[in-house]
Structure 1
Amino acid sequence: MSSRVSYRNLSISAAVALAIAVPATFGFASETSLAATISSALPAMSSDDAHAAIIAEGPGEAVEAPVLALDPPAAPATEVAAVEDEAELDCIAKIVHHESANQPRAGQLAVAQLVMNRVESGRFADTICGVAHQPGQFFNTRAYNPRRDSATWKTAVEVSREAIAGHTADVVPGALFYHASYVAPPRFFRTRARAGVLGDHIFYR
């Protein structure tokens, strides 16, 4: 059974093919001397060449060579993203906590999903914090700092994670606006379609 070695680099492929084609009658004393001769005929491989190397033994038996850590590992790209995600989670949890901590869980989820509906609507900011900080829409979320060790804050965070993940059916589908049910609706709401009433809030599309 013959064996062959191929590389992505064409010049290396040609050199390997030529070296392997040398007849055994040339008097190589051992496989080690043959390998040394082949090695000396090849240019130095870059890390990219080494990563691309594939060794094939026999027909249809391709085995990918192990990827070696030839280059220093890159800095984790997720560190900044993780911080940004935590900031986004904090923004939506503040809204849920401030606006609906006294509501049933479904009422809190409705508020969280409303925030996500705004993010995805194209009519508001395209980030959670952008929606939260938009003037005239919610309270002063930047100045709101509830206790982070309370049970109500923990629930707000859990509900917010659930809304961000989007795995739960909408409690009030399509809701983009709401107001407390115990106040007369401002003129703005009189022409909007109701999406539903939940707890102390009336939701609109």
Structure 2
Amino acid sequence: MFKKMLMVGIATCSVLTFSFPTQSSAHANTHTVQKGESIYKISMKYGVPAKQLQAMNNKSNVEIYPGEQLQLPVVPSESEKDLLDRLVEAEAKGESYAGKVAVATVVLNRVESDRFPDSIYDVIHDGYQFSPVLNGTIHQPAGNESKRAVQEALAYQGYDRDSLFFYNPDKAQSSYLSSQEVTTVIGNHEFLR
């Protein structure tokens, strides 16, 4: 009887442990270089292109040194990717494909920035940052174009880490955002740093 109860308890714990989606990125956002490692070996370990790893770390060549900290691209869990897909759909509905990619890029740039939380989930749910979180439209499914835009933004990480904000100045007023440097304008959105 005890053995049967123990097995049921272990099975229940296993189900609870693996049933809930994770809300943090799939791996840490940094890697400490070990002796004998190369950009290529590190890129293979994390499943990211070597050129992207170089871009993330502003490296014009492949020289790295033991003890050096390398920034890694954000690799989202499935639940984080779905959340980002839905945010892009809600925030950039009616905007161009480039605008959707730029919205996703802002979220990824924030994950990499010291000024914001360290996961996609936490960036998206950080206070009053994104109106779809506040008005509930983030719960609506994402369309194929938004999903493709998120994929492109994930592949593009490291090549544009400037934009940390965006807004539509025709719909929202912000003295803080209007005082930031504009990096680009796409459709109705201004992107800023």
The TM-score bracket by the shorter chain reads 0.5 to 0.7
- Structure 1 residues 4-63: Cα deviation after superposition (integer angstroms, max 9, x where no partner): xxxxxxxxxxxxxxxxxxxxxxxxxxxxxxxxxxxxxxxxxxxxxxxxxxxxxxxxxxxx
Provide the C-alpha distance between the structure 1 equivalents of 2:172 and 2:84, rounded to a whole number of angstroms: 26
Provide the C-alpha distance between the structure 1 equivalents of 2:182 and 2:106, rounded to a whole number of angstroms: 13
Show the 5 A alignment for 1:175-186: 175-183=163-171, 185-186=173-174
**What residue number does 1:196 align with?**
184
**What residue number does 1:13 align with?**
none
Unaligned runs of 5+ in 2: 1-20, 27-75
TM-score under structure 1 length normalisation = 0.51
Query: Is the alpha carbon distance of 1:101 and 1:169 closer, same or farther for their aligned partners in structure 2, counting shifts above 3 Å?
Result: farther
Provide the C-alpha distance between the structure 2 equivalents of 1:191 and 1:101, rounded to a whole number of angstroms: 26
**What residue number does 1:103 align with?**
95
SS of structure 2 residue aligned to 1:141: helix
For the pair shown, which has the larger CA radius of gyration, 1 or 2? Answer: 1
- Structure 1 residues 119-140: Cα deviation after superposition (integer angstroms, max 9, x where no partner): 1012111111111111110125
Show the 5 A alignment for 1:27-66: none
1:116 to 104, 108, 121: 108
Q: Does residue 77 of structure 2 align to residue 89 of structure 1?
A: no
Provide the C-alpha distance between the structure 1 equivalents of 2:92 and 2:100, rounded to a whole number of angstroms: 5
Count of aligned residue pairs for this structure pair? 119
CA contact (8 A) 1:177 1:203 kept: yes
CA contact (8 A) 1:176 1:203 kept: yes
CA contact (8 A) 1:108 1:159 kept: yes
Structure 2: which amino acid aligns with 1:133?
A: H
CA contact (8 A) 1:162 1:168 kept: no
Structure 2: which amino acid aligns with 1:156?
A: S
Provide the C-alpha distance between the structure 2 equivalents of 1:100 and 1:85, rounded to a whole number of angstroms: 22
% identical equivalent positions: 31
CA contact (8 A) 1:180 1:201 kept: yes
Query: Is the alpha carbon distance of 1:141 and 1:90 closer, same or farther for their aligned partners in structure 2, counting shifts above 3 Å?
Result: farther
Unaligned runs of 5+ in 1: 1-78
- Structure 1 residues 98-130: Cα deviation after superposition (integer angstroms, max 9, x where no partner): 111211111111101011110101211111111
Provide the C-alpha distance between the structure 1 equivalents of 2:159 and 2:90, rounded to a whole number of angstroms: 23
Show the 5 A alignment for 1:63-82: none
Report the RMSD for the aligned CA atoms in angstroms. Answer: 2.5
Provide the C-alpha distance between the structure 1 equivalents of 2:96 and 2:130, rounded to a whole number of angstroms: 20
Deviation at 1:168, TM superposition (A): 8.5
Provide the C-alpha distance between the structure 2 equivalents of 1:203 and 1:159, rounded to a whole number of angstroms: 16
